[in-house]
Amino acid sequence: MTYNFDEIIDRRNTGAIKVERCKALYGSEDVLPLWVADMDFRTPDFIFEAIRERCEHPILGYSMPPKEFYPSLIDWINNHHQWEVKRQWIGFLPGIVPGLSFAVQSLTQPGDEVIVQPPVYYPFFHVVKNNNRVIVNNPLKTVNGKFEMDFEDLESKITPNTKLFILCNPHNPGGRVWNNETLYRLAEICAKHRIIVVSDEIHADMVLTGHKHTPFATVSGDAAQISLTFMAPSKTFNMPGLISSSYIIPNEELRKRFVDFLEASELTGGNIFAYAATVACYEKGEEWRKQMLEYVQGNVDFVVDFLKANIPQIKPMIPEASFLIWLDCEELGMETDELFDFFAKKAGLGLNKGTTFGTGGEYHLRLNVASSRLILKKAMKQLLNAVIR
């Protein structure tokens, strides 16, 4: 079966944040919304079928995950990432961002230091700050157009109060797929200083052509023992509104501390539709995933080529994973706020402002290309007209 990703679907009046918040953020409902990291593609049919099938039963009572839930996840991770995960290591998590907050709350104390690598997905800051922990920034360096970790800076910032490191693997923004060597070095440093690593791997199943995802926990024995890994089908299969993710924690003591917190807060259960949809993704989603990634790769190539040929002042960081392009707009000669306004008001485009991702976000915007190619063509045309005007 060939899926149609060219289709344009009207998302107005569905509560879609990407659309509903445009007026408040960009000053108009008419901007093309290319920001929130969900896709404008139709959520695949096998997900709706699974939900419909569950609706055939007349009672939507309190339910456990179906018996296929964990085996389908274990098989998926083994087949896609060559990681043999044991059943007792894993459990349901009601969202990855909530999971990050639970990790902060269960594994650190108020006042402890938590390391993040900006520019990075902004809720990483919120879960630290809002729980009264201290953010320590270990900014990424840009080397030959790609993000690299700065280990010297990292080691210089670790103190006896540094307890947790939140890793984005692959990285958002920028779509960097961290390789074995980088993750191994990170694990060495964190193990030496007894720092726990939470590896957010929500983008793991969306690695683009020529790249391969490496789960942090697989790079060494230390990495497995000091880490919590969070994964989800939600972003890959465009169903983040259903809220379904999982934790994987090989170390028994760490797992106990985390799970005790979940249990004490009554946070261990999901909803029946999320369970059914998750099984459907892992059992039936491979063909859709492949075709979706091929289409996204085509969109990335289109935008990169268009900018190179027509607006070379804007330099895209070429993503190795996912559908988010990090645009370096410094050569347009505007401050970040001005740039954001220029995109919204002159080009009619709603993108994420770079500085929301912290240090290193100055002069940048993040562009979501998980839309119909026709929309992206329109967006690039509007941008070009604004720049040459």
Ligand X SMILES: Cc1ncc(COP(=O)(O)O)c(C=O)c1O
Among 108, 245, 299, 352, binds ligand X (CB under 6 A): 245
CB nearer to ligand X: pick between 19 and 191: 19
CB nearer to ligand X: pick between 246 and 299: 246
Q: Does residue 121 belong to the site contacting ligand X (CB under 6 A)?
A: yes
Q: What is the length of the chain?
A: 389
Among 16, 19, 37, 376, binds ligand X (CB under 6 A): 37
Report the site for ligand X in 170-189 (rule: CB under 6 A): 172
131: number of Cβ within 10 Å: 17
Q: Does residue 96 belong to the site contacting ligand X (CB under 6 A)?
A: yes
Q: Does residue 117 belong to the site contacting ligand X (CB under 6 A)?
A: no
In contact, 157 and 115? CB cutoff 8 Å: yes
Among 200, 205, 320, 328, binds ligand X (CB under 6 A): 200
Task: Write out the DSSP string of 171-202.
Answer: -TTT-----HHHHHHHHHHHHHTT-EEEEE-T
CB nearer to ligand X: pick between 139 and 240: 240
**Rounded Cα–Cα distance for residues 248 and 201 (Å):** 11
Q: Does residue 92 belong to the site contacting ligand X (CB under 6 A)?
A: no
Smallest distance, ligand X to C-beta of residue 308, A: 26
Point out which residues pair with 231 in neighbouring strands. Answer: 246
Point out which residues pair with 349 in neighbouring strands. Answer: 32
CB nearer to ligand X: pick between 50 and 243: 243
Residue span binding ligand X (CB under 6 A) among the ranges 232-240, 326-334, 340-348, 378-386: 232-240
Going by C-beta distance under 8 Å and a sequence separation of 6 or more, which residues neighbour residue 54? 60, 272, 273, 276
Among 215, 240, 270, 348, binds ligand X (CB under 6 A): 240
Smallest distance, ligand X to C-beta of residue 110, A: 23
CB nearer to ligand X: pick between 17 and 97: 97
Number of residues counted as binding ligand X (CB under 6 A):
14
- CA 177, chain centre distance (Å): 12
Residue span binding ligand X (CB under 6 A) among the ranges 105-113, 182-190, 228-236, 340-348: 228-236
Smallest distance, ligand X to C-beta of residue 202, A: 4
* Residue 160 φ/ψ region, left for φ over 0, alpha for ψ in the -120 to 50 degree band, beta for the rest: alpha
Among 33, 44, 65, 95, binds ligand X (CB under 6 A): 95
Q: Which of 229, 231, 228, 232 is nearest to 274 (CA)?
A: 232
Residue with the two structure tokens 């630290």? 128
Q: Does residue 34 belong to the site contacting ligand X (CB under 6 A)?
A: no
Report the site for ligand X in 146-175 (rule: CB under 6 A): 168, 172
**Rounded Cα–Cα distance for residues 131 and 357 (Å):** 19
Q: State how far the alpha carbon of 357 is from the alpha carbons of 100, 128, 138, 154, 280, in Å.
A: 16, 14, 13, 18, 33
Smallest distance, ligand X to C-beta of residue 158, A: 23
Q: Does residue 365 belong to the site contacting ligand X (CB under 6 A)?
A: no
Q: Which two tokens stand for residue 110?
A: 């108020």
Sites of contact with ligand X (CB under 6 A):
37, 95-97, 121, 168, 172, 200, 202, 232, 234-235, 240, 245
